[in-house]
């Protein structure tokens, strides 16, 4: 069994109020604690990935705030308290200050983090 609190998980990406903490938690999956301030649109940071979107599936729970998820089939909104599955091909936009915890395939998510960090730096 493995467990990790937010403070146990190292920061993988931060800047402009965005914070992504992620670490492997078992098998091929990682846990991530993510904070996005209101108004954050991840679209520009995801440009250059296939479909200019995150192609990694995520399972999680929105702890605080509201997120609009843009996908090829349209947009959906998620609010605090909802568990979610975000399939490949999504771009998050924070409608409010948002915090969520999610689980993703480790290697795939690491590649997205590296892409976003390279765009920021």
Percent of the chain residues topping a pLDDT of 70: 98
| pLDDT single digits (tens) 21-75 | 999 998 899 999 999 999 999 999 999 999 999 999 999 999 999 999 999 999 9
CATH number at residue 112: 2.60.120.10
**For range 81-86, the mean pLDDT:** 97
Q: How many domains are contained in the chain?
A: 1
Domain that holds residue 83: 6-120
In a domain, residue 1? The reply is: no
Q: Which of 109, 103, 92, 118 is nearest to 32 (CA)?
A: 103
Q: Model's pTM, two decimal places? A: 0.94
In a domain, residue 31? The reply is: yes
In a domain, residue 110? The reply is: yes
């Amino acid at each position: 069994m493995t467990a990790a609190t937010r403070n146990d998980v190292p920061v993988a990406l931060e800047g402009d109020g965005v914070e992504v903490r992620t670490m492997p938690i078992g098998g091929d999956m990682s846990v991530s604690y993510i904070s996005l301030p209101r108004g954050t649109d991840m679209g520009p940071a995801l440009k250059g990935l296939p479909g200019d979107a995150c192609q990694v599936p995520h399972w999680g729970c929105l702890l605080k705030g509201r997120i609009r998820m843009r996908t090829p089939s349209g947009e959906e909104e998620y609010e605090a308290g909802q568990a979610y599955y975000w399939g490949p091909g999504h771009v998050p936009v924070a409608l409010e200050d948002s915090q969520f915890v999610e689980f993703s395939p480790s290697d795939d998510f690491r590649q997205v983090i590296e892409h976003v960090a390279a765009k920021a730096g």
